[in-house]
Each structure stands twice: as C-alpha cells, then as structure tokens.
A and B are shown apart, each in its own frame.
Chain A
Amino acid sequence: MRARLSPGMLAMLPVMALILLGFVVPILLVFAYSLMPPRTFSLAGEPTLANYEAAVTDGYLLPLGWSVWLAALTTLICLALAWPTAKALVRFAGRLATLATILIALPIFISESVRLFGTALFMMPGGGILAGSLNALFGLKTGSILYTKTATLLGMVYVHFPFMLFPIVLGLSLVPQDQVEAARDLGAGWLQVLREVELPLAAPGITVGALLTFVLSLGANAEAAILGGQAVTVITKAIEQRFGYAQDWPSGAALTVLVILVTAAVIFPVLRRLDLDRLIRR
C-alpha cells in the first residue's frame, strides 16, 4: 500500500524545499569549501583544516572579537533603551503610543545605507548638521565622533533598536497589570517588581529581541564601513574581503563557519529555554 502525504505535509513541501535549497544547501557548501585547500574554487580537493588554522594565525580572531563585542554592546544598549520605551508604549497605549510606534518603525522601511549616510552627514565634523548647528546657533566648536568605534556602535544601536523594541513591547504586554499591582500590594518596590514579575513574565519578548539584535549586529557591516571608517574591521568585512578581493573562498568560508558557530553557541542554549509558544499564543 502506498503511503499518502496529509494535506498539511503537502502544504509544507514548498517551504521545506525553499529552506533546503536556500538555507541548508548553501551552509553545507560553505562548510565544504571551508575544508578545501586555500585559494581553490573546487570542492574536489583534499579536505584540510588549514583555513581554520590560518583564521587563528593570520589575525582574523580580532575582527571576530570586535564583531562579538560590538554585537554584545549593541544588544545591551538597545535593551537598556528599549525597556523604558516599551513600558511607556504599553502603559500609555493610545493615539500617542501609535504615533510613537510609527515613528520608530518608519526608518525600517528606508534603506539602511541611506539612513547611515544620513547619520554620517549629521555627525560630520565642522559642516555636519550637529556640529554646524551648534556652531551657527551657539558659536560652539565641537569635534566629531564620525569614523570612530563609538560612531560604529551608535550606528548599530540606531539601526537595530526596533528589532529589540517590538519583541519587548510584545513581551511586556504579556505581563498582567494585576500581577504588578499584586506585587506592589505585597510590599515590592519597583526594583523588586521588575525582578520578580516583569522580567520573568516578559522574558520571551526580551529573549527574542536580544537574539535578533545580537545576531543581526554580529552580521552587520555597513555601520563599520560608513560610520566607522577604518577605525575597526568587523568579521563580515573580513569575510567579504576573503571572498571578493582576495578570491580565497575556502578562507572566507572558514571565517563564515566560525561566525555561524559563535551564533549557534549563543542562540541554541537560549532557544532551549525560551517558551516561544507563550509569545505566539498570547
């Protein structure tokens, strides 16, 4: 007797095919290339770990470290900024909150590079919008943070803030107001309410926001290129150089695998503890 696929399984087939071709196969190819001898374009070579050794000895751990560090800092800063913003949006739900949400979400619909060039114009020394305005209005001569690590970090925070904010808004909306009031009634100060009630109940939203922000920041390149100048080389820039300028696909693939491993090391332990169902079923 022939086994027949259920309608649900049939409906899933196109998506499964897309995931297989668009996600699994490229990752397997990257992994395979990472084991090929340096500067080869074939998958038929003798497998070697030379590219991984080179990643360590040729100084590529530094860009990787910078990327992880900037991604972690971006995540923390976005979290610190998004929490009070999300609380205000949830607490004062209404026309003002809707307007604020639109204003925060609107930049997502504009090209990231355009936004970052705009930010660069804002930060530019002397004739930049900020420095120029301060000079013209108040006679203040200020320096500029453009083309520094700080500018890179600010750009990453600016770009990734919505990815932290909206999951936290969703998470905070899971916190019943009566439980917050009950905690207050039972003697909890605001810090205790935060620790005992709000953070645990909003945890799914915070986790999703933090993961999104971290992973996207880890893969970010434009902020370092446009706002950071040559102040810092991030791992994605190094990967781009290996694949493009250096024409060394196996080396680029090895660096990519390292980034994937770092990402997996962060994501999988967190995902195992995350009750995504609760967020989805709210």
Chain B
Amino acid sequence: MAASAGAGAPILTLQGLTRRFGEVAAVDGIDLAIEDGEFFTIVGPSGSGKSTLIRILAGLERVDAGAVLLRGQAITDVPANRRPTAMVFQSLALFNHKTVGENIEFALKMRGVDPAARRARARELMDLVRLPETYYARPVTQCSGGERQRVALARALASDPEILFFDEPLSAIDYRLRKMLEVELKDLHRETGKTFIYITHSLEEAMVMSDRIGIMRDGRLVQIGPPLEIYQRPRSRFVAEFMGEVNVLPAAAVTGGADTEGWYVVRPEQLRPLPPDAAADIVFEAEIVNDYLLGSRKQFHARAGERLLIGEVAATAVGVPPPGEPVRLGFDLADAVRVTE
C-alpha cells in the first residue's frame, strides 16, 4: 500500500545543498524535505541543475556545501554503494554483457545473497514489472526499448531500496511507449509504496505521475507544490510559462492602467470565446488567426491589437469562428494569476 504524501516525517531532507562547477552553481543552496512514500518530481529546463542534484542524492556527485539527511541521519559523505537507494539512469545503464536475470540480480549479488534467493527475487520482480519469465536468461541486448526500461526498474528495485531515483528514464523513447510507462510507473509507485524522486524536463510526465513537483531554475527550486497548484497558481512568469502554454498579459493591459506592476497569466482554457450577450471581467476584441485540433481539444490563436492570444476549447465546442473572423474573447480575474517576477 502506498504511503500518501504529507502523511509522515521526511525520509529525505536537503539542507543548503550546493555544488559548484567553477564559477557556476549547478545546485545553489537547495532546502527540501521529501516525505516517505512520496512521488516527487523535479522539473526544469536543460542546464537547470536537476541531474546534478539527483546525482548528489544518489551519492554519485560530491557537494561543496550543505547536507543530505536520510531519516534524520546525515548521508552526505556516504558513497553511492553504501546508500539504501537506487537509481534508474537516463541511459538505463544496463550491463549489456549480462542477461536480464543477471542485471536484475546484480545488487543482490553485490550483497552476497545466495543464487537461489537471488533468482527467486528476480522472478518476483519480473512479475512485478510485467516481464515474461522466459526473459530471465535472455541477453539484455536482445530486449526492446520498453523491456529494457522494465529490466532497469526491476534491477533498481531488487535490493529493496528506501528511495528510487529516476534521471529522465523516459526521455529517449517514443510517445506511445512513454505514455504507457508513465502509467506503469505510477502503478509501481502505488504497489511498492516506495519514495520515488524523479527528474524530467517534461511537464506532462511530471503532471501525470507526481504527488508534488519542484520547479528548478539555475540551481534553485523556485516553486514546490502539487501539480495542479503549480499549474494553476504559478509564483512567477517562469513557472507559468514552463508549466505549459499561457497568455502573459502586462498588468497595465488588464487593469486599464490601475496596476502597472507585473503580469497576469491566463491559461488557454481560461480564455473563452464570448457570445454577444455574455460578460467577463476582461474582454478582448480579436480576430482568429488559426486553429488546431489537439484530439479532444481545439486550440486557437487570436490577434488582439499587437497581442497574440492562445485559447483552448473542447473540440466539439461551438463559438470559435473560422480564421479571419472577429471574435470576443474574455476571462475572469479569478481565473488569472498575477505574478510580479
């Protein structure tokens, strides 16, 4: 059974964690508490320091300052092979000279577990990650992309680690398989009840799987919270824009000059086409530039003066005129977020 986020004491605490490469602080004074059983995802653009951070947590990178505590005990200087954690690497880093079974059993072999017990555990894990038993003796090089992902997962789980780290493991696989594995990872998290700390640059992955998300920028966590909260209540323009397409409107344009500081961020789904008699707090007279079908949703771009607005409605919705036609667009201030940085 999975432990729910926020239910207990932190399993992992980061205190002022800093790692510099020359003049650049890849990780810059990070404080964070992750709870037992939580699925915590760190999202950030390339170069934001998220991979360095997870390598520090796994013990593969030293720190220049700060501390890592596991259940209150400092593990900052404990080497990777002595930490009760395991990582699924971006490249998966499977041992290509070994079979599926040998890969999965690796951590147990390193701990001196006898072959029969190792084999039993490997078969149990293969069942958990839905790998056919016949794959046990198969060279790992003969596995497909999805199967390799499953081997990597089973291998990381073998030693029953307290925390599992994931360094963008789904970044190099096709969309369909990625969506399937996102769901499987979420299921696995629920079934094992373990703490998962996941790194990705994909907002979508983070939204699907996480209990909480930390947005990382220039070595710092600029906002931490549940996915919906971060999506709906970003604290900065950076977070708003990073968490998906958004209309960023200068405050002066929204308030008619009453407030000139900062911006209002409005999600495309909050910007709606208005029938002639409908009202909204803020209304724009615009012209549809183009529209795009996104499966069950339809996105449209509309020009209001100098500004290009993005809106999104259900694919079957009426009221979005064809490109070139005028349209009244509006949103309520309660649906917008004002940010000042």
Contact = CB atoms under 8 A, between A and B. Distances in A.
Contacts of A176: 91, 93
B244 interface: no
A180 to B, nearest CB: 9
B81 A182 contact: no
Enumerate the 3 nearest inter-chain pairs by beta-carbon distance, A residue then B residue, closest first: A182-B93, A187-B110, A178-B93
A188 interface: yes
Contacts, number: 62
Interface bin, chain B: 20 to 34
Nearest to B155: A186
Contact of B60 (A181, A187, A189, A200): A181
Contacts of B197: none
B115 interface: no
A198 to B, nearest CB: 11
B242 interface: no
A196 interface: yes
Nearest to B109: A196
Interface in A152-187: 176, 178-179, 181-187
Interface in B46-62: 58-60
Contact of B80 (A179, A181, A192, A200): A181
A178 B55 CA distance: 12
A188 B58 CA distance: 14
Contacts of A188: 81, 106, 110
Given A181-B80, A197-B95, A200-B97, A187 B89 contact: no
A201 interface: yes
Interface string B148-159: 000000011011
Contact of B110 (A178, A181, A186): A186
28 contacts: A176-B93, A178-B89, A178-B91, A179-B93, A179-B96, A181-B80, A181-B89, A182-B87, A182-B89, A182-B94, A182-B95, A183-B95, A183-B106, A185-B60, A185-B87, A186-B81, A186-B86, A186-B107, A186-B110, A186-B155, A186-B156, A187-B81, A187-B111, A187-B159, A188-B106, A192-B110, A197-B95, A200-B97
Contacts of A197: 95
B95 A179 contact: yes
Interface in B85-121: 85-87, 89, 91, 93-97, 106-107, 109-111
A197 B89 CA distance: 16
B167 to A, nearest CB: 10
Interface residues of A, number: 17
Q: From DSSP, what is the main secondary structure of chain A's interface residues?
A: helix
Interface in A198-240: 200-201
A184 B93 contact: no
B61 to A, nearest CB: 10
B97 A184 contact: no
Nearest to A177: B93
Given A188-B110, A200-B97, 17 more contacts: A178-B89, A179-B93, A182-B87, A183-B95, A184-B80, A184-B81, A185-B60, A185-B85, A185-B86, A186-B86, A186-B107, A187-B107, A187-B110, A187-B111, A188-B81, A188-B106, A189-B110
Contacts of A179: 93-96
B99 to A, nearest CB: 13
B323 interface: no
B22 to A, nearest CB: 15
Interface of B: 58-60, 79-82, 85-87, 89, 91, 93-97, 106-107, 109-111, 155-156, 158-159
Contacts of A189: 81, 110
B110 A185 contact: no
A185 B166 CA distance: 12
B262 to A, nearest CB: 43
Nearest to A197: B95
Which of B80, B82, B85 has most chain A Cβ within 10 Å? B80
A61 B79 CA distance: 53
A196 B91 contact: no
A187 B82 CA distance: 6
A184 B79 contact: yes
B113 to A, nearest CB: 11
Nearest to A186: B107
A188 B98 CA distance: 15
A52 to B, nearest CB: 43
Contacts of A200: 97
Given A178-B89, A192-B110, A196-B106, A185 B95 contact: no
A148 to B, nearest CB: 43
Contacts of A186: 81, 86, 106-107, 110, 155-156, 158-159
A178 B80 CA distance: 13
Contacts of B155: 186
A184 B156 CA distance: 12
B93 A201 contact: no
Nearest to A182: B93
Contacts of B96: 179
A145 B94 CA distance: 50
A185 B81 contact: yes
A183 B107 CA distance: 8
Contacts of B158: 186
A188 B105 CA distance: 12
Most interface-central of B81, B96, B159 (chain A CB within 10 A): B81
B318 to A, nearest CB: 53
A185 B84 CA distance: 9
A191 to B, nearest CB: 11
B288 to A, nearest CB: 49
B176 to A, nearest CB: 26
B2 to A, nearest CB: 24
